[in-house]
Structure formats: C-alpha cells, structure tokens
Amino acid sequence: MVIPETEAILKERNSKNVVLFGIEAHVCILHTALDLRERDYEVHVVADGCSSRSDSDRKMAYKRLRQAGCILTTGETLLMELLGSKDHPKFKEVQKVVLDRAPDTGLIHQS
C-alpha cells in the first residue's frame, strides 16, 4: 500500500513514475503497485530485484502486475534507461559496475 508520507513526497516532487523492488512480490510489491496504478502513476517493477517465498507466488504477482499496466524490467535495463544513452557522463562507470556483477551466462567471450 502507498502510505500518506510516500504519496506526499511523490506529489511534492511532481513524480509520475515509480520504481519498485523488494521482497514479497505477491504482497508488498503487488499491493503497492496496484495502489500507485489507481493513482495514475507509471510503475516500473524490477523483476530481478524482487522475490517471494514461492516461485508460483512471484510468477502470479508478475502476471497481475502486467495486467494492471505495470512495466516489468530488470535492474540492468532500468539503469541503462535512466542514463538515457552512452553519452551520459556516468555511462562508463555504471557499465563497469553492471559488467563486474553480471552472471557468467557463457554468451560473452573474454579474451
């Protein structure tokens, strides 16, 4: 749920976009996102930054979030979108952090 203090800050800053991540995707994240959507906020949920006690609860939460009009994304994608482009002065610094922490998927061959 959106508490009055949070809503006051969003109004004060004239924010219309909110990024959510945390534990219990099917409870805390879901209900906060639904409250924000009812108030016409654009809600971005960092899927790889959320968890639930069970995989089925998390998957169902993501399905409901999409149905409510939330945007599901990843932490890396969100960071790059916030930077805007490779021309951002902090791009290389953020890219290094992302690459240093990226799991080895076998798709990038380093020489």
**What tokens appear for 13 in the block?**
């800053």
60 by DSSP, 3-state: which?
helix
What integer pLDDT is reported at residue 104 of this predicted model?
62
Nearest to 45 by CA among 64, 10, 73, 24: 73
pTM of the predicted model over 0.75:
yes
As given in the structure block, the two tokens for residue 74 are 């990843």
CA distance 16 to 13: 9
Which residues on neighbouring strands pair with residue 50, listed in sequence order?
A: 22
DSSP 24-58: -IIIIIHHHHHHHHHTT-EEEEEEEEE--SSHHHH
Identify the pLDDT of residue 57: 95
Per-residue pLDDT tens digits for 62-83: 999 999 999 999 888 999 999 9
Mean pLDDT, each 10-residue run in order, the chain (111 residues): 94 96 94 97 94 93 97 91 92 88 58 43
**How high is the pLDDT of residue 62?**
95
**Structure tokens that stand for 97 in this block:** 């952090």
- State the Cα–Cα distance between residues 42 and 35, nearest whole angstrom: 11
